[in-house]
Amino acid sequence: MTPPARRPATYDDLVAVPEHLVAEIVDGELFTSPRPAPRHALAASRLLGFLQWPFDLGRGGPGGWRILFEPELHFASDVLVPDIAAWRRERLPHLPEEAYFSLAPDWVCEVQSPSTTALDRGKKLGVYAREGVSHAWMLDPLAETLEVLRLEGAYWTIVSTYVEKTVIHPEPFDALGLELTLLWDA
């Protein structure tokens, strides 16, 4: 006997998830994860702080970006929540009125944790590629690494993997040096 077919998750299913969890729908499946652990939260917060002033606000850097923490992205039936996402201002001159974004970002950062790595590196990267996100960063605060990916056609290419580097220049934010070790608990 075959098991009964599961119905695809809906936005109503996502809204019903308790607020202390992050909920996403990918390929019709509802995924939930706990709020970030301290090292995850620290790495994401410090990276956002580093990027916000020079790239979003244009203070001490080139500007030209909109950078947001945990935006909700709606792509067809998929609902994703990257840790950080950024749009070039010429593509997103004004924030949407809705509580979500339907325009794919130009860059996403997924901070890796044991509970989210498989989803981030698997199904979510597939959706980001399908939607044309040009860059993805996989930041791992436990391994203290940053992997930079660039979309080439329909496939991700690993541009660089940074480990134990003091100052790096990862694309697309290569205009300024990022002191990688500051993202970890110092």
Band of the pLDDT at 2, cuts 50, 70, 90? low
- The residues pairing with 143 across neighbouring beta strands, listed in sequence order, are none
CATH code at position 89? 3.90.1570.10
Sign of torsion, CA 125 117 148 62?
positive
Domain contains 73: yes
Per the structure, how many domains does the chain have? 1
pTM of the prediction?
Answer: 0.94
CA distances from 9 to 28, 58, 77, 149 (A): 5, 40, 9, 29
Using pLDDT thresholds of 50, 70 and 90, give the confidence band for residue 118.
Answer: very high
Does residue 147 lie in a domain region? yes
Q: Is residue 118 part of a domain?
A: yes
Range of the domain at 144: 36-183
Of residues 40, 36, 32, 28, the one with CA closest to residue 16: 32
Q: Is residue 65 included in any domain, yes or no?
A: yes
Residue 5 lies in a domain: no
**In a 3-state reduction of DSSP, which class is residue 47?**
helix
Let me know if residue 131 belongs to a domain: yes
DSSP string, 66-133: EEEES--EEETTEEE--SEEEEETTT-SS--SSSSB-SPPSEEEEE--TTTHHHIIIIIHHHHHHHT-
Q: Give 185's pLDDT tier (boundaries 50, 70, 90).
A: confident
| Average pLDDT over all residues of the chain | 94
pLDDT given at position 164? 80
User: Does residue 124 form part of some domain?
Assistant: yes
Tokens 């970030």 appear where? 36
Instruction: Write the pLDDT tens digit of every residue in 34-70.
Output: 988 999 999 999 999 999 999 999 999 999 999 999 9
Closest CA to 144 of 156, 161, 129: 161
Q: What is the pLDDT of residue 4?
A: 61
Q: How many CB atoms lie within 10 A of CB 15?
A: 8
Residue 7 has pLDDT above 90, yes or no: no
Nearest to residue 143, comparing CAs of 175, 98, 111? 111
Examine residue 19 and state whether it is found in any structural domain, yes or no: no
Instruction: Answer for the pair 89, 55: CB distance below 8 angstroms, yes or no.
Output: no
